[in-house]
Chains A and B, each alone.
Chain A
């Protein structure tokens, strides 16, 4: 089970090795968008954007649907959940740890202030 998950994650990570594609996913996380919207937002040609979306689609991270003349892109149903969930979980884990770190640093700061070592800001 874990291995299967990891293989699937591998594909996704390959698709995510590109900053533009990560940006596209972030964007689609906020709202669905057409290829044209995305091309404009990322200042790319339609052809360039189609290629990126194609890679994401192959990795199962994005699905597209053509309605009339407009191809709308949205986040892939399952693998993206897994992918972003993984990163988000990892992020939360670190955030939680760093929140505690910040408290420790805050306590150190107060201690310094009490001991008159406060530096001018």
Chain B
């Protein structure tokens, strides 16, 4: 249950890369120490998802997390940011155990991105590729914070200021 106990830094730290593949796409990749079935499990069970999707360092409080992870199932994350409440929600389009998840992001008013996550296991580690495809270049630009988050760049700044502070501690 307590997944946060292990805080000692790992010797070989995995690092994410971010690439804007095209006008409508952003791709984030990262290796996770662990087999694909466990990484997939962490994505596909709400009680696990809520342990990591909004790290404390984001300065947000997760109020609820529901995820019915099957094709056609819906998810909704509600969190508070200062005095305001925000939501992420959408629908799972494809759920292929241990290898692929596709979901919609419907919280924005710009048609929303489609997120595809692939899980590729190699030597006990999993290469995660998260691909966000926006309906248009404008939608991607307008999303500001990206990744299905519809906050403004300013808010992203705030997130990351706290994030930077916490990273600096390690």
Contact = CB atoms under 8 A, between A and B. Distances in A.
B30 interface: yes
Contacts of A119: 35
Interface stretch (B52-60, B63-71, B77-85): B52-60
A108 B167 contact: no
Interface string A72-86: 000000000000001
A40 interface: no
A31 to B, nearest CB: 21
A91 B51 contact: no
A104 B160 contact: no
Contacts, number: 118
Interface residues of B, number: 51
B51 A90 contact: no
A22 B6 CA distance: 36
B42 A101 contact: yes
A112 B55 CA distance: 24
Contacts of B32: 98, 101-102, 105
Contacts of A121: 124
B30 A98 contact: yes
Interface size class of A (residues with CB under 8 A): 20 to 34
Nearest to B153: A2
A91 B16 contact: yes
A18 to B, nearest CB: 11
A90 B147 contact: yes
Nearest to A1: B154
B30 A104 contact: no
Contacts of B26: 90
B152 A92 contact: no
Given A9-B141, A93-B160, A105 B38 contact: yes
B4 interface: yes
B3 A104 contact: yes
Contact of A90 (B41, B52, B146, B166): B146
A13 interface: yes
A94 B156 contact: no
7 contacts: A13-B20, A16-B20, A96-B55, A96-B163, A100-B3, A102-B34, A106-B6
Given A92-B163, A96-B58, A108-B34, 5 more contacts: A2-B152, A94-B18, A103-B6, A107-B3, A108-B41
